[in-house]
């Protein structure tokens, strides 16, 4: 069935035109209104008898589906219930999420989406998006055209190798692009008509998946090396051919591949990596807000990372840009960054050091004056005691990394230590916020990657700001699509971070929260989109005319979940 949104020439109101009737209308989730079809629409579309006779309002429908949601006993059951609703009626699905965003966003994305990816082959019900396997590498343009859309605004693609903190999930990684694009629509109003989730299936090294008789992906070890890169190259070439105006977002690739693809294509197509750049943008926004509490300038910060993968690389790179902007030379800015991985502080004398770790490795000679249990090797705790960082950022995916001695050491060298246990899902967070607040005597400024309940300490409430990438990437993507930007730059994420930080109110900061509440996320996305567009124009990657009435233009491009009249126009 084909459909399009049109304008009535008499009333000037929008409506949806479809070229089929009857059952087809009810099985297409972007058109289906179910019991909310009016009597006139039922007559025109041959729907009488296919629906109960009573006509429901969307409020009636919301009460019905929310009641069903509350009956589900487990989070994964709630996830499956919402997925089924999305497959039936996308407008009602997004309206429900909008009405209950605090409650349901953790269900449709982190942390519950992690379990959904692990169990994907067992809970699969209906197709959504595209699966492009290595065996189909010679016909990728045909597969993209099978999606049946003339225009796609945003594509999110994964190869399933590094799903959240859960590792290789193979084809089950499709839950991530689906979930990310859900947030594009929910948080920034990118139309679900114009989004495309894709999984590149090159096999899996997950023995549990390969041994599972229900696993739906390719049953062999991952394709790697030159063959893998040729496959990715063919995919990007096909996207450029079939959907030349689409923004391509890389998601949950292994750290080496994530950085490689970002660097390989950043000057060729309009693409970005949310794990690297989106994470960096949202973390930097949280730091800007935290500095409003401490009263310190950016240029005085010393940053210690626990975890030295792609996320840390992206955050560190953007932090260097922010430090330089605040008056440091690049060399001085780089010298403010320390990284610790599972082997301790990353130093330049380590053999076979990966490029992204080498970028912020410390000169081994620095350790000569440090108090260390093992000369030349520094643990996280020893790095805190000797480097005296103003903040520690957790990207390790290892729970318990920020233990009591580490947090207490941070509190000894800082009046208000900034402690961000950022790893997802909740089970992988470097510490629990309540512990960090207790160990620091209530002085730590916290932000997390996954949602946590507020913490009460000595009569005051600490609302734990969630450094959710959804505060950044949907707005950036919206801005790129509205402006038809030709390239994505790191400076766009710097401006996006500032725009998000500006949305944090004094009331938020009074509760020690460094991010806005989720119920304001559409306003945040609007601000981020406008900031992205202004920087795109400034750098010559978008046409200047877009700046005329910019905010109104962006707001007008944001899709809202409301029913339109449906007419039969073959």
> What are the catalytic residues?
109, 180
Between CA 553 and CA 160 the distance in angstroms is: 36
- Tokens linked to 268: 């060729």
List the beta bridge partners of residue 3: 18
* Distance of alpha carbon 47 from alpha carbon 570, whole angstroms: 16
Among 121, 132, 134, CA closest to 208 = 121
Backbone phi and psi for residue 27, each to the nearest 5 degrees, phi listed first: -100, 0
- How many CB atoms within 10 Å of residue 2? 12
d(CA 228, CA 134): 8
CA angle 489, 492, 493 (to 5 degrees): 100
Angle at 152 (CA atoms; ends 91, 116), nearest 5 degrees: 60
The token pair at 515 is 């991010």
φ, ψ (nearest 5 deg) of residue 198: -135, 140
Tokens of 466: 């969630």
Instruction: Decide if 423 contacts 307 (C-beta within 8 A).
Output: yes
C-alpha–C-alpha distance, residues 212 and 270, integer Å: 38
From residue 295, give the alpha-carbon distance in Å to each of 111, 290, 301, 416: 33, 8, 12, 10
> Do the Cβ atoms of 91 and 133 come closer than 8 Å?
no
In whole angstroms, how far apart are CA 391 and each of 304, 450, 559? 6, 19, 38
- E strand or H helix at 438: helix 433-439
Kindly give the interhelix angle for 101-108 and 175-188, rounded to the nearest 10 degrees.
160
Structure tokens at 371: 């108090």
d(CA 409, CA 403): 10
Q: How do 418-421 and 445-448 pair as beta strands?
A: parallel
d(CA 286, CA 100): 24
| Helices and strands counted in the chain (H then E) | 25, 17
């Amino acid at each position: 069935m084909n459909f399009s949104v049109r304008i009535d020439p008499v009333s000037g109101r929008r409506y949806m035109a479809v070229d089929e009737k009857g059952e087809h209308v009810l099985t297409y989730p972007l058109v289906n209104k179910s019991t909310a079809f009016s009597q006139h629409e039922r007559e025109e579309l041959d729907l009488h008898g296919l629906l109960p006779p009573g006509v429901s309002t969307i409020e009636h429908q919301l009460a019905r589906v929310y009641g069903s949601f509350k009956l589900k006993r487990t989070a994964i059951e709630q996830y499956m219930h919402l997925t089924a609703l999305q497959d039936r009626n996308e407008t009602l699905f997004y309206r429900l999420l909008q009405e209950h965003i605090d409650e349901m966003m953790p269900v449709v994305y982190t942390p519950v989406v992690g379990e959904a990816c692990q169990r994907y082959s067992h809970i699969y019900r209906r197709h959504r998006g595209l699966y492009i396997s290595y065996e189909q590498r010679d016909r990728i343009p045909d597969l993209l055209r099978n999606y049946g859309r003339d225009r796609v605004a945003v594509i999110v693609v994964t190869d399933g190798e590094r799903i959240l903190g859960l590792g290789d999930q193979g084809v089950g990684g499709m839950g991530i692009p689906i979930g990310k694009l859900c947030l594009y629509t929910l948080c920034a109003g990118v139309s679900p008509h114009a989004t495309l989730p894709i999984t590149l299936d090159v096999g899996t090294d997950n023995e549990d998946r390969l041994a599972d008789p229900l696993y739906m992906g390719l049953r062999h070890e991952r394709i790697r090396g030159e063959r893998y890169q040729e496959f990715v190259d063919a995919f990007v070439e096909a996207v450029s051919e079939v959907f030349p105006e689409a923004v391509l977002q890389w998601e949950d690739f292994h750290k080496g591949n994530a950085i490689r693809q970002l660097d390989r294509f950043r000057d060729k197509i309009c693409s970005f990596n949310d794990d690297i750049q989106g994470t960096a943008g949202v973390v930097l926004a949280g730091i800007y807000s935290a500095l409003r509490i401490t009263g310190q300038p950016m240029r005085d910060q010393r940053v210690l990372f626990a975890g030295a993968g792609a996320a840390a690389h992206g955050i560190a790179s953007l932090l260097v840009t922010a430090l330089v902007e605040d008056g440091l030379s690049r060399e001085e800015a780089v010298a403010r960054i320390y990284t610790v991985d599972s082997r301790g502080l990353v130093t330049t004398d380590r053999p076979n050091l990966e490029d992204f770790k080498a970028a912020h490795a410390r000169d081994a000679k620095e350790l000569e004056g440090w108090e260390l249990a093992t000369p030349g090797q520094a643990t996280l705790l020893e790095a805190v005691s000797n480097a005296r960082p103003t903040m520690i950022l957790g990207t390790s995916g290892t729970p318990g990394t920020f233990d009591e001695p580490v947090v207490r050491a941070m509190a000894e060298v800082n009046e208000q230590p900034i402690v961000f246990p950022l790893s997802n899902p909740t089970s992988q967070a470097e510490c629990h916020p309540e512990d960090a607040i207790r160990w620091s005597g209530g002085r730590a400024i916290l932000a997390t990657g996954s949602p946590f309940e507020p913490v009460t300490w000595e009569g005051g409430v600490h609302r734990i700001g969630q450094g959710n990438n959804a505060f950044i990437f949907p707005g950036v993507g919206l801005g790129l699509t509205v402006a038809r930007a030709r390239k994505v730059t790191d400076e766009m994420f710097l401006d996006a971070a500032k725009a998000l930080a500006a949305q944090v109110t004094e009331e938020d900061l009074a509760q020690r929260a460094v991010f806005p509440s989720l119920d304001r996320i559409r306003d945040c996305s609007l601000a981020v989109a406008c900031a992205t567009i202004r920087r795109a124009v400034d750098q010559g990657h978008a046409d200047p005319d877009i700046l005329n009435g910019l905010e109104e233009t962006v707001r007008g491009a944001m899709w809202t979940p409301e029913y339109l009249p449906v007419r039969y126009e073959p």
